[in-house]
Amino acid sequence: MNSISNRRRLLLTSAALLTLSFTRLSYAQSVKTMEVWKDPSCGCCKHWIEHVEKSGFKVTVNDTGNNAIRARLHMPQKFASCHTALIEGYVIEGHVPAKDILRLLKTRPDALGLAVPGMKVGSPGMDGPTYNGRSDPYDVLLVLKNGDSRVFQSYA
C-alpha cells in the first residue's frame, strides 16, 4: 500500500508542476512588453505609462527624449507627441489608450502603428486632477506605412 501511495503522490506532484508550468507559460505569453522613449521631466508621460501598466503592459522606459527614436521608427512628425513607444513591431505615438493598443495587437493591421498627435486633454495621462475634469474630443489614428492615416477610434 505504501508503494501505491507514493506513486499517487508522485503523480499528483507531477500534475501540479505541469499545470504550474503551463500557467506560467500562458502568463508569459499574455504579458505585453513595450519600450517607451520620453523626456525625463514629463509628468504626463509618466501618467500614461502608469495607465498602460495598469492594463497589463510591462514597460521599459528610456528618459532620453523621443525625437530621434520617432525619426528612426519612421513615425511622421505630423503625428508627434511627447512620447513614443514600440510594441511588437508597432509604433505608438502619444497618449493612445491601452484598449486601442490591445485592439491593434489583436487585429494586427498592416500599419506603422497608432498615434494621438499633440497632447489631447482627456486622453490617458492627460486626464488627472490638474485638468479639472476637462476632456476634449480626440481621435486615435492608425498610421499607415506610407505616412497616411485613418481614424482607428474616436473619443468625444
Over the stretch 31-62, which tens digit does the pLDDT of each residue have? 899 999 999 998 899 999 999 999 999 999 99
CA 147 – CA 155 distance, rounded (Å): 22
CA 79 – CA 152 distance, rounded (Å): 14
The β-bridge relationship of strands 57-62 and 32-38 is: parallel
Distances from the Cα of 151 to the Cα of 11, 87, 116, 124, angstroms:
54, 20, 10, 18
> What sign does the dihedral 14-20-24-29 (CA atoms) show?
positive
Q: Among 4-18, 68-82, 92-106, 124-138, whose mean pLDDT is lowest? A: 4-18
pLDDT-based confidence at residue 130 (cuts at 50, 70, 90): confident
pLDDT-based confidence at residue 1 (cuts at 50, 70, 90): low
- pLDDT of res. 128: 84
pLDDT-based confidence at residue 18 (cuts at 50, 70, 90): very low
